[in-house]
Amino acid sequence: MFTLRDKYAIAGIGETAYTKNSGTTVLNLAVEACQKAADDAGVPVEEIDGIVSYNFGDSVPAIGVATALGIPNAGYAVDFAGGGNAANLITLTAAAAIEAGLAKSVLCFRAMNGRSGFRLGGGREFQARGITQYTAPFGWITYPQAMAMWCRRHMIEYGTTAEQLGSVAVTFRENASLNERAMQRERITMDDYMASRFIVEPFRMLDICLESDGACAVLVTKAEHARDLKHKPVYIMGGAYGGGPNQGEDLFDAIRWPDHSQNYAAYIADDLWRSAGVGPSDVDVAEIYDCFTYSVIMQLEGFGFCKPGEGGPFVASGAIKRDGSLPLNTHGGLLSEAYIHGLNHVLEAVRQLRGDAGPRQIADAEIALTTAGAMTCGSAMVLRA
């Protein structure tokens, strides 16, 4: 269990514009976001000695970014192989690395040309080797196809409906309409949702997140260091990573997963809340990994905001709106702001806890949950002002 409650903080955040075509390299995007995070904190790049990221072979190595930024000695430079599951994991390991003496200030970034370059949603390689030999030959190839299979099982077991999925899409787009950085800001109605075409049943176009070019970065330091910097620190209360047994041979593989109506969240929730010393009822705002509408429902159940099977009615009740009991994805999420693999959720949580979220600000937000991942493994953090 993560045992560093309140000892580390996010001291700076940075990001690029989110676009369909950045017109520049992934390296430049990464450098821009990292430089902005350092500047936001007021930490000279020369004082940064750690840099960590995650990618699917679609980004640039941490040492490359350290080199381009002019970091004198990146002593903790690590690239995780991962997708959305890793967004909080890298931030937690930054704290762990500092605690172990491997670094003092660590940049955590995610950078990609996810629309103009390598399109993750466009399918996987067509060499059906390894675990893929049991999936791809049957035309089971893309992540929307993968997650739709999980969603159907939830529908079989609990009667979850299209309208319930749609309430997630409509709510997050409403939030994005207040976010000038969001790629999709035009409000949608339930009729718009129901009229959007099926991509892979039960998913319609509006159940599926965006594809984006862009980068995000956060700077993690010791809490006492963060208190001397430019912004009010956002403290890491707790966190967890994992997903129990049978996580599979890669992020797509869930053949041996026992129950597709629940995901990683159900396995890491206890560790998460114990590490933070708070529970679901203490959360003021949550940024939940929404690569698909349905992944939100599974995580709300898994993290204990409602019981298994009640996620559909919960999201449809209005509880997840800005004026509801649990405001979710105030930036619009992966569905409407941008798909920066969940690190943009961490940036939004920091803004909310600083009180810097402008028209999207949740009043008196003191504790935020950020989650990352949708299927068999994932990570989550509890942050506080």
Residue of 109, 150, 193, 339 that binds other proteins (CB under 8 A): 150
Q: What is the DSSP string of 20-38?
A: S--SS-HHHHHHHHHHHHH
Stretch near other proteins under the rule CB under 8 A, chosen from 137-145, 263-271, 314-322, 359-367: 137-145
| Residue 159 in contact with other proteins, rule: CB under 8 A | no
Q: Do 9 and 233 meet the contact criterion of CB atoms below 8 Å apart?
A: yes
Name beta bridge partners: 204. 198
Stretch near other proteins under the rule CB under 8 A, chosen from 70-78, 147-155, 290-298, 313-321: 147-155
Closest contact distance (angstroms) between CB of 133 and other proteins is: 4
Residue of 44, 123, 358, 359 that binds other proteins (CB under 8 A): 123
Our CB check for other proteins shows the closer of 63 and 149 to be: 149
Best CA proximity match to 50, nearest among 62, 64, 32, 33: 62
**Could you tell me the strand order of the sheet in which 105-113 lies?**
76-81, 50-55, 105-113, 213-222, 8-15, 234-242, 378-384, 367-372, 285-287
Q: Do 352 and 285 meet the contact criterion of CB atoms below 8 Å apart?
A: yes
Burial class (CB in 10 A: 0-12, 13-18, 19+), 40: buried
Q: Is 339 one of the catalytic residues?
A: yes
DSSP state, residue 109: E
Question: Could you say which residues in the range 240-299 bind other proteins, by CB under 8 A?
Answer: 255-256, 260
| Residue 330 in contact with other proteins, rule: CB under 8 A | no
The alpha-carbon radius of gyration of the chain (Å, integer) is 19
User: Which listed residue (76, 158, 289, 294) is catalytic?
Assistant: 289
Closest contact distance (angstroms) between CB of 138 and other proteins is: 5
Residue of 42, 44, 137, 277 that binds other proteins (CB under 8 A): 137
Q: Do 117 and 60 meet the contact criterion of CB atoms below 8 Å apart?
A: no
| Residue 152 in contact with other proteins, rule: CB under 8 A | yes
Burial class (CB in 10 A: 0-12, 13-18, 19+), 308: middle
Closest contact distance (angstroms) between CB of 246 and other proteins is: 8
Please tell me the distance from the alpha carbon of residue 323 to that of residue 318, in angstroms, as a whole number.
8
| Residue 331 in contact with other proteins, rule: CB under 8 A | no
Q: Are strands 378-384 and 105-113 parallel, antiparallel or unpaired?
A: unpaired
The alpha carbon of residue 383 and the mean position of all alpha carbons in its chain are separated, in whole angstroms, by 14
Closest contact distance (angstroms) between CB of 141 and other proteins is: 6
Q: Is 294 one of the catalytic residues?
A: no
| Residue 132 in contact with other proteins, rule: CB under 8 A | yes
Our CB check for other proteins shows the closer of 29 and 136 to be: 136
Residue of 4, 29, 112, 136 that binds other proteins (CB under 8 A): 136
Closest contact distance (angstroms) between CB of 305 and other proteins is: 24
Closest contact distance (angstroms) between CB of 158 and other proteins is: 11
> Which spans of this chain sit near other proteins (rule: CB under 8 A)?
122-123, 126-142, 145, 148-150, 152-153, 155-156, 197-202, 255-256, 260
List the catalytic residues: 289, 339
